[in-house]
């Protein structure tokens, strides 16, 4: 990727962060560029940290965790809970669901209009539905 394009992406990213009420600091711009640059992805804090390192961005793991949570709060990411051991973050914030491969821990998107959940009962009085998550657990065989 040439320098001009990279800079353009970063300015775009900075604008998104500012719009979300987050200071476009060097670490945040770098992480957000990595995250939001290349289509939809599912990744963990460790994954992102490693990817940043490979891209020559030196950020602490604490900063990666901070950024992931702040981005999620800001609606730039969505957190996916499928495995008790680790937390996944999803750059696809649109309505969709997931296959979760129990063999290798991989997540695969299921378009939101492909799947339908019907007859969800009303929640207990005083409670509001925040989201309906569907996880289709799959395995080899």
Partner DNA sequence: TCAACAGTTTAGAATTATTCCAAAGAAGAA
Partner DNA sequence: TTCTTCTTTGGAATAATTCTAAACTGTTGA
CA pair distance 126, 115, nearest whole angstrom:
28
Do 98 and 136 touch, CB atoms closer than 8 A?
A: yes
Among 36, 43, 48, 59, indicate the residue that binds DNA (CB under 7 A): 59
Residue 31 tokens read as 């992480």
Give the footprint of a copy of itself on residues 25-84 (CB under 8 A): 79, 81-84
3-state SS of 93-104 is CCCEEEEEECCC
Please give the size of the binding site for a copy of itself, defined by CB under 8 A.
Answer: 38
Among 50, 55, 61, 108, indicate the residue that binds DNA (CB under 7 A): 61
CA pair distance 24, 124, nearest whole angstrom:
41
Is 33 or 91 the residue whose CB approaches a copy of itself more closely? Answer: 91
Footprint of a copy of itself (CB under 8 A): 79, 81-84, 86-87, 99, 101-102, 108, 110, 114-121, 123-124, 126-141
């Amino acid at each position: 990727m040439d320098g001009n394009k990279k800079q353009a992406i970063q300015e775009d990213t900075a604008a998104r962060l500012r719009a979300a009420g987050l200071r476009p600091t060097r670490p945040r711009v770098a992480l957000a560029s990595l995250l939001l640059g290349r289509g939809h992805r599912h990744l963990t804090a460790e994954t992102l940290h490693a990817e940043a390192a490979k891209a020559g961005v030196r950020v602490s793991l604490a900063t990666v965790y901070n950024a992931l949570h702040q981005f999620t709060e800001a609606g730039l990411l969505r957190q996916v809970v499928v495995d008790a051991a680790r937390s996944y973050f999803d750059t696809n914030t649109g309505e969709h669901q997931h296959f979760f491969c129990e063999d290798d821990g991989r997540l695969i998107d299921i378009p939101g209009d492909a799947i339908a959940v019907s007859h969800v009962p009303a929640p207990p009085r005083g409670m509001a539905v925040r989201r309906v998550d569907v996880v289709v657990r799959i395995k080899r065989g």
